[in-house]
Amino acid sequence: MYSFNYVFTIIISSGFVVWLSKVFPLVILKKYKLNEKTVSFLSFVPITIMSALWFESLFVQHLGQLPSLNIENLVASVPTILSAILTRSLLVIVVVGIISLAFIRVIGI
């Protein structure tokens, strides 16, 4: 099996790479002023990423076949989307999504 030092090194290295990928762009962009079009374009990036993650979770891939709909995630999306429209708070959206999916799994839809 793997030794403790190997696993610890992998965890620390992965954490460093994630930290570096998030901090390095901030350090570079802090020195430069982006034009208005670039800032406007980048404002859509979080929405695009969240939409892609959401659509990915709605479908289950089957090799050689069309994807099927994940009913649990679809039903849990309804109250989550409503909370997003009403509150526009990321914390509320995440909590409602987690609670919705947990409730659906408990009742067994």
Residues 75 and 64 in one domain: yes
The whole-number pLDDT of residue 70 equals 93
Q: What is the tens place of the pLDDT at every residue in 55-90? A: 899 999 989 999 999 999 999 999 999 999 999 888
Q: Which residue has the higher pLDDT, 28 or 85?
A: 85
Residues 93 and 71 in one domain: yes
Percent of the chain past pLDDT 70, that is, above it, reads: 99
**d(C-alpha 72, C-alpha 55), whole Å:** 13
Whether the pTM exceeds 0.75: the reply is no
Domain count, the chain: 2
Residues 43 and 20 in one domain: no
Residue 99, domain extent:
35-107
Alpha helices in 1-109 (DSSP H): 4-31, 36-42, 45-58, 71-87, 90-107
